[in-house]
Every structure is written in C-alpha cells, then in structure tokens.
Amino acid sequence: MGEHAVLVFIAIAIAIILGIIIGILITYSKPASHAALWICQILMTIPSLAMFGLLLPFFGIGFKTGVTTLILYSLLPIVRNTYTGIKEIDPSILEAAQGMGMKESSILFRIKLPLAAPVIMAGVRTATVMIIGIAAIASYIGAGGLGHFIFQGINRWNMNMVLLGAIAVSILAIIVDFLMKKVEHRMVTK
C-alpha cells in the first residue's frame, strides 16, 4: 500500500505544479489553450498499458516510467479545471482589481487563484482518484504498487490475491476521494 501511495503522491504532486502552471499560462492565449487542451485530451485517449509501453524506451522499466505515465494522465483534469476556473471569474472583479492599481501578479495570486481554487481542486480530485487505479497497472512494468497482487494472482490463478489487490486499490481510491471531497467542500464554503 505504501509503495502505491508514494507512486501516486509523487505523480500527483508534480502534475499539480505542472497542470496549474500550464492552466494559468493558457488563459492568456486562445490558440495556446486550444493546443494545450487538445494535447492533454490526446494523451488521455492512449490506453494506459500502451502509454507505459511508449515510455519504456525513454525511462526504462520501473518507477520513473510509472510516475511519468501517471503525470501525463493527471494533466488533463488539472489543466482544464485551472483554465476553466480562471476563465469563469466575473470580468468585473478583475476590472475592479486593475482599477485599484493591482499588478497582474497580485491579481493572479490574490484574486484569480483563490476564486478558481474550488474548480482546480475538483480537477485535482478527479486526477488523483483516476491515477490510483492506473497506478495498479504500473506494477506490470516494475513500478511497484498494489497492482503486484493483481498480476501475481492472475499469473498463479489465485483469485484471493487478485481480490486483495483489487479491493485494496478500490478502498484507497474511495478513501482518497472522500478526503479530497471534504477539502473541496471546505474550499467552496469559505
């Protein structure tokens, strides 16, 4: 369970940083937003086992390939929600901030990101729960995690082992989803 959690935590931490930065940057350019969202959508259409296979020549068998794949799958919900959250802010709020003499960086950190935070958090929650499941497949390429029990169980025709891995991954996803939903709810009610 620990190995699986570490794999997911590292991937989601990097994806949050990259996704929010990309999401912010593309709010300034319509062509860039179309291109970035299109690329993220294309990445999501690639089956996870194929993505692991495509990255093996670059990162080898193991943890790096697993983390990189999980980062790529996490980007779409985070980038899209960051972009959407910022773009849906009432323009009059931004005009008022500019009228008060706020610099663009202050507007970003004091107005845009706080107002977009609940939408961004929804994207982070979606990405995290999604990659918890995909991380199970990462054990197939030697990245470790709870998928090891599933694949070992399949290889040995041991359904108890398969169920152990599948139930553990499911419980982890449910717990993380519940906790992140609480955080998301807190952000909305503040």
Reduce the DSSP state of residue 176 to 3 states and report it.
helix
Identify the pLDDT of residue 190.
59
Nearest alpha carbon to residue 23 among 112, 99, 91, 140: 112
Identify the pLDDT of residue 189.
62
Q: Where are the domains of the chain?
A: 2-189
Nearest alpha carbon to residue 146 among 135, 130, 155: 135
Identify the pLDDT of residue 118.
92
**What is the C-alpha end-to-end distance of the chain, expressed in Å?**
33
| pTM score | 0.89
Main-chain dihedrals φ then ψ at residue 4, nearest 5 degrees: -65, -45
Residues of the chain short of pLDDT 50, as ranges, are none
Identify the pLDDT of residue 152.
87
Q: What is the CATH number of domain 2-189?
A: 1.10.3720.10
